[in-house]
Amino acid sequence: MARGPLIILSGPSGAGKSTVIKRLLEEFPGRLRLSVSATTRGRREKEEEGVHYHFWTCQQFLHEVYVGGFLEWAEVHGNFYGTPRDEVEPFLARGVGVLLDIDVQGADQVRPRYPEHVSVFLRTSSLDVLRDRLEKRRTETEASIQKRLANAKKELERAGEDQHQVINDDLETALAQLRTIIEASFAGRE
């Protein structure tokens, strides 16, 4: 059986990654799965263990770092986040595509380990469109929006490092492009 594709999806906060991931998983049942990351941050209301994250102690996380249990990991704002290998390897071996929703730093760690990866940078056409989305969420303070936009500028400077860029100003157009990319990633392995 051919290995499944490893698909790296990155992009700024507010670009619509969660929305497109949800739709793609519905469209590729049994063929595509989202890797669940591990974190040491506390669980938020409505988050479920093993669905949104694996919520680990700092000791458990650092042990996995020590034994090489992560494809990628980072410390962000005092908490650790990472992609456990067992969320990826067994599925790729069975021919299932694995989608990684990670930041550009995480993608930097994964690319050399999986040269056959497929990488997609999801973005909006402009920072103004991104700002508008962040404001419409009504979950962000102005300071938080400014911080996310500053991070987005840095991430956009690196968008060319990915194999594909998809502009998500129109969800259906973006999904059609992503569908084509994903189908092609499977076709090359069958």
Structural domains in the chain?
6-35+88-187 (3.40.50.300)
User: pLDDT tens for residues 97-114?
Assistant: 999 998 888 899 999 999
Q: Which residues of 66-100 are buried (b: 16+ CB within 10 A; e: fewer)?
A: eeebbbbbeeeeeebbbbbbebbeebbeeebbbbb
User: pLDDT tens for residues 27-57?
Assistant: 999 999 999 999 999 898 888 999 889 999 9
User: pLDDT tens for residues 139-180?
Assistant: 778 888 888 888 889 999 998 899 999 999 999 999 999 999
Band of the pLDDT at 120, cuts 50, 70, 90? very high
Sign of CA dihedral 100, 103, 104, 108: negative
Phi, psi torsion values for 31, nearest 5 degrees: -105, -20
Are residues 163 and 120 in contact, defined by beta-carbon separation less than 8 angstroms? yes
Give the predicted TM-score (pTM) of the model.
0.89
Band of the pLDDT at 189, cuts 50, 70, 90? low
